[in-house]
Structures are given as C-alpha cells and as structure tokens.
C-alpha cells in the first residue's frame, strides 16, 4: 500500500509521498475494511476526543455545540473529554454536562501530563470507527468535520484540518509573530519529518478508527509536538493523509508559550525523527504538479 499526502494548494495541484507497505509488512487497515460496514450508505459511529486543561470558563459552551452537532449528524457517537490534570473545575463542568447528556464521558487524572498524553489516552479508549480530536476552544468549528469526513469516505486514512492551504478561512488571525513562528516551524517540519504537509499543528484531525489505534499505540510524545509524531508515523506506515482547508479563528487563552515551546517543538522534531527512523525509511518520493 502506498501512503500519500494530499493538500488543496490550488486547482490541479496534489502533493504525494509514497512510502511502501508499512513497518511489519502486514496489510494495513484501509478502504476495503470500511466497505462492509458503510455499504448501507449510513455513516459509522464517531468518537470525538477533546483534551482539556484548565478550561472551566469556555468548555461548557464547546460541549453544547459539539453534542448538538453529533446528535443531529450521527446515529451513534461518544464525546470523550480528557481532563489533563486541571487545577480548576474542568472535571466538574464535564460531570455536570454528562449528567444530562448521554454518550459523554470524562477521563481525568493527575498531574498534568501534556496535550499529547491526553489525546493518546482518549483515542486509545475510543470505540467507534471514526475518531476525531478537537481542541477545547473550537478554534475550528465542529461542523468543519464535514469536509474532513468527505476525504475519509473517499479513501483517505487521516484527514487533517489546515489553516495554510487554499480555501482555508482565517476568521480571526493570530498575532503576526505567532503566524511567523508557525510558518517557520512548519517549513522545518516538512524538511525533517512530514514532507508535503504544510500545517501540522491545527488541532482538528479525523482518523479512520483502526488507523488511529495503530498510529497512537506507537507514539510516545506527551507535549504539544505530538502532532508531528502522529503524522510522521502515519506517513511512514503507508497511510494516506489528506490536508483539508477549514475555517479557523484565533482564541485567546492558548496554553502554548512561544519562546518556551518553540525550543521544545524543535527538540520534538529531532527526537521523533530519530526514534522512528527504523519504522520506515522514506523512499520513492515524487511530487505531482
């Protein structure tokens, strides 16, 4: 099976990377595995994982919006909130919401372990055939999952929201210095770990369930740089990753600290590239324009 990255970077342009058959030589879960359960035309169930750290102020509004959307759109779903060692009332907000809304679950632990740990914990507890993780602030509205879902149904294994491909809508932009730092990091990430992907850090990613389990069971990054490891593994294991333009707005209250976390992100790039070098050596690269 040939893995690839797709991005809508203008009419007629697709960027592909091929990586062979996967680390252990076994058949990877792909479109053929979906056909039987999706043949009736209905959507499979979806698990939505929301990592949360000290989100008591805005989490309830996000949960209401997500739950209402899922109720309208999916016949089966679960909404999993992972409280990543919060010191405020985040867990209480979720418990009170879950008491009046079915299919909502809370995973809580102490101490704070990092966003990557929280997302991995939620994904590996999830049970449905589609798995989405979304930031708690809904910087990308939950309704944008429709665009990602189209790509999964069409055959992609992973569909990631992107703020940097043609068609994306930045309703509220970040401060200029954050945008500059983000673009610089993504250029470096393309060179070192995730060729063809122009926005690795948007917190809105949809996976075919078996692919999510395969990838997240192999990753170990606990911090903000976990997206890099997830996408690097997906590519090297031969999965198809589609980069999809989405609506996005900057929300105040980001937990990322530019100076501190920039150094950590660079360290993550170096570390995951070295850690997973044996998983798949990139080969047969080509770019189609």
Q: DSSP per residue over 246-268, as a string?
A: -EEE--S-----HHHHHHHHHHH
Instruction: Tell me, yes or no, whether 153 lies in a domain.
Output: yes
pLDDT at 269: 77
Per-residue tokens: 247: 């609506």
Instruction: Tell me, yes or no, whether 282 lies in a domain.
Output: no
Identify the domain containing residue 38 by its residue range.
4-275
Instruction: Tell me, yes or no, whether 283 lies in a domain.
Output: no
Instruction: Tell me, yes or no, whether 131 lies in a domain.
Output: yes
Residue 128 gets the label, from left (phi > 0), alpha (psi -120 to 50) or beta, of beta
Number of domains in the chain: 1
Looking at the predicted structure, is the pLDDT value of residue 182 above 90? no
pLDDT at 261: 55
Percent of the chain's residues with pLDDT above 70: 70
The CATH number of whichever domain residue 123 belongs to comes to 3.90.550.10
Looking at the predicted structure, is the pLDDT value of residue 115 above 70? yes
pLDDT at 25: 43
Instruction: Tell me, yes or no, whether 189 lies in a domain.
Output: yes
User: Concatenated DSSP letters for 63-95?
Assistant: HHHHHHHHHHH-SSEEEEEEEES-SSSHHHHHH
pLDDT tens readout for residues 209-257:
999 999 999 999 998 889 999 999 999 999 999 999 999 776 565 555 5
pLDDT tens readout for residues 118-141:
999 999 999 999 999 999 999 999
Instruction: Tell me, yes or no, whether 149 lies in a domain.
Output: yes
Looking at the predicted structure, is the pLDDT value of residue 27 above 70? no
Instruction: Tell me, yes or no, whether 286 lies in a domain.
Output: no
Instruction: Tell me, yes or no, whether 173 lies in a domain.
Output: yes
- Work out the average pLDDT over 169-173: 63
pLDDT at 22: 44
Q: What is the CA radius of gyration of the chain?
A: 18
């Amino acid at each position: 099976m040939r893995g690839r990255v797709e991005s809508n970077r203008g009419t007629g342009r697709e960027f592909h990377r091929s990586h062979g058959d996967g680390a252990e030589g076994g058949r990877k879960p792909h479109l053929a595995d979906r056909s039987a359960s999706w043949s009736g035309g209905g959507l499979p169930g979806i698990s939505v994982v929301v990592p949360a750290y000290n989100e008591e102020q805005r989490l309830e509004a996000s949960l209401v919006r997500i739950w209402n959307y899922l109720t309208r759109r999916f016949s089966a779903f679960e909404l999993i909130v992972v409280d990543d060692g919060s010191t405020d009332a985040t867990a209480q907000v979720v418990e009170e919401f879950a008491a009046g809304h079915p299919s909502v679950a809370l995973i809580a632990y102490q101490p704070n372990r990092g966003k990557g740990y929280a997302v991995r914990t939620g994904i590996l507890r999830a049970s449905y055939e589609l798995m989405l993780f979304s930031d708690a602030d809904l910087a990308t509205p939950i309704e944008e999952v429709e665009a990602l879902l189209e790509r999964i149904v069409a055959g992609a294994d992973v569909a990631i929201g992107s703020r940097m491909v043609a068609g994306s809508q930045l309703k509220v932009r970040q401060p200029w210095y954050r945008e500059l730092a983000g673009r610089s990091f993504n250029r470096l990430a393309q060179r070192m770990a995730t060729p063809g992907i122009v926005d690795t850090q948007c917190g809105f990613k949809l996976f075919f369930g078996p692919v999510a389990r395969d990838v997240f069971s192999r990753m170990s990054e606990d911090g903000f740089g976990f997206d890099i490891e997830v996408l690097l593994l997906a590519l090297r294991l031969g999965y198809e990753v589609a980069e999809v333009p989405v609506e996005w707005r900057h929300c105040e209250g980001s937990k990322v600290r530019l100076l501190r976390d920039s150094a950590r992100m660079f360290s993550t790039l170096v570390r995951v590239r070295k850690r997973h070098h044996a998983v798949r050596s990139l080969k047969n690269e080509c770019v189609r324009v």
